[in-house]
C-alpha cells in the first residue's frame, strides 16, 4: 500500500499520480513511493508509456522544508539520497515518459519533471531551481539535469538566482516541450504518450537506452 503515490493504467498508458496536498512536497516517504512505483512500471509488460502527474492544481513545490528542518546533518544527506533515487528511478523507466505539469514545479519538483523524457505544461505554471532561496544547493542531480535541458550558462543563472520562470520563458529555454491551457495538461500528455502505443516495447527501450544512462 502507498500513501501518496498511485498508479493508474488506461489502455497501456500508466499514470504515476502524486497526491500529497496541498503542494505535493517531496518528503522521504513520497520519494520512496515514487522510486518503488517507477521501478514497478519499468518492468510491467502491459505498460507502453508513463505519465507523471501531480494533479490539476500543482506538480510539486519541491522538497518538504518543514521535514528537512527537523533532520540532523546525517539524516539530511540520507534524505537527499532518497530523493536522488526517486529521480533516477523515473529517469530509468525503459519506456517513454511524460511529465504533465500544473501549478508549480520548483526545486526537487522541477528536477523530478526533468527526469521525464518530455514535459507538457499549463501556460500558467511557474518553474524554478529555488533551493538557494532556502540556503541549499540543488540535490538529486538537479543542476546537471537542468544544464542538460537549457545549457550550463542558463542553468547557472537559474540555480544561482533561484528566480521563478514563467511557462513562456520555460518553453523558450527548453525546460518544457509543449505549452497548453491549464485544464488541458493531462489530456495533452495522454495524447503525447499515445503516439508510442503501436511500437514494440523492446525497440522503444533500446531506443531510449541509445541516449545513454541518466
Minimum mean pLDDT range among 70-84, 92-106, 145-159: 70-84
Give the pTM.
0.93
Residue 207 has pLDDT above 90, yes or no: yes
pLDDT band at 72 (very low <50, low <70, confident <90, very high): confident
pLDDT band at 196 (very low <50, low <70, confident <90, very high): very high
CA 46 remoteness from chain centre: 22
What's the confidence (pLDDT) of residue 189?
A: 98
Tell me the pLDDT tens digit for each residue of 134-158.
888 887 688 999 999 999 999 999 9
Q: Which residue has the cell 533516477?
A: 88
Nearest to 188 by CA among 101, 65, 116: 101
| Bigger pLDDT: 55 vs 72 | 55
pLDDT band at 167 (very low <50, low <70, confident <90, very high): very high
Minimum mean pLDDT range among 11-25, 133-147, 154-168: 133-147
Give the DSSP letter string of 138-190: --TTHHHHHHHHH-HHHHHHHHHH---EEHHHHHHHTS-SEEE-GGGHHHHHH
| Bigger pLDDT: 104 vs 66 | 104
What is the C-alpha to C-alpha distance for residues 39 and 32, in angstroms, rounded to an integer?
11
What's the confidence (pLDDT) of residue 212?
A: 79
The CATH class that applies to domain 5-207 reads alpha beta
The residue ranges of every structural domain in the chain are: 5-207
Amino acid at each position: 500500500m502507498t500513501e501518496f503515490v498511485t498508479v493508474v493504467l488506461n489502455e497501456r498508458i500508466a499514470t504515476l499520480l502524486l497526491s500529497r496536498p496541498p503542494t505535493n512536497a517531496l518528503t522521504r516517504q513520497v520519494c520512496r513511493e515514487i522510486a518503488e512505483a517507477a521501478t514497478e512500471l519499468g518492468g510491467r509488460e502491459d505498460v507502453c508509456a508513463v505519465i507523471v502527474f501531480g494533479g490539476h492544481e500543482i506538480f510539486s513545490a519541491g522538497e518538504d522544508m518543514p521535514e528537512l528542518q527537523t533532520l540532523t546533518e546525517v539524516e539530511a544527506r540520507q534524505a537527499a539520497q532518497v530523493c536522488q533515487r526517486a529521480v533516477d528511478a523515473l529517469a530509468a523507466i525503459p519506456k517513454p515518459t511524460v511529465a504533465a505539469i500544473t501549478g508549480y514545479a520548483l526545486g526537487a519538483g522541477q528536477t523530478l519533471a526533468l527526469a521525464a523524457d518530455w514535459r507538457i505544461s499549463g501556460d500558467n505554471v511557474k518553474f524554478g531551481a529555488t533551493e538557494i532561496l532556502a540556503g541549499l544547493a540543488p540535490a538529486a542531480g538537479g543542476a546537471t539535469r537542468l544544464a542538460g535541458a537549457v545549457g550550463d550558462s542558463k542553468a547557472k543563472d537559474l540555480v544561482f538566482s533561484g528566480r521563478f520562470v514563467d511557462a513562456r520563458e520555460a518553453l523558450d529555454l527548453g525546460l518544457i516541450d509543449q505549452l497548453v491551457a491549464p485544464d488541458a495538461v493531462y489530456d495533452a500528455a495522454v495524447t503525447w504518450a499515445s503516439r508510442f502505443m503501436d511500437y514494440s516495447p523492446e525497440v522503444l527501450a533500446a531506443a531510449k537506452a541509445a541516449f545513454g544512462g541518466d
